[in-house]
Amino acid sequence: MSKAVFSTVDDHAWHRIVRWIFHKHSRLSWRELRRRFCRPGSWKLICDGVEFTGASSVEVIRYRYRGSNIPTPWTPRPAVANTGG
């Protein structure tokens, strides 16, 4: 689910950046935009060595379900055995 949301956010951000570039450089064509602001052979935006990686480049980490093994203030702690010496 989160990967789909991140991809949607990336798509929106990419289009907003492209619109900003077109606004800033009013006579720019799509071909010129790709030549000047994209990585060669792709549509990844890059300028002065800084690449737009987007939110979907963040690794999604899934945590295993621990159920009742998660310690809470309300779970009783096991009694400590007194080994008195």
Q: Is the pLDDT of residue 81 over 80?
A: no
Supply the DSSP string of 24-85, one letter for each residue. Answer: HSTT--HHHHHHHHB-TTS--BEETTEE---GGGSPP-PPPP-GGGS--TTSPPPPPP----
Q: Answer for the pair 9, 58: CB distance below 8 angstroms, yes or no.
A: no
Q: Which residue has the higher pLDDT, 13 or 62?
A: 13
pLDDT at position 85: 57
pLDDT at position 31: 95
H-run or E-run covering 13: helix 2-24
Spatial CA neighbour of 14 closest among 36, 46, 40: 46
pLDDT at position 83: 72
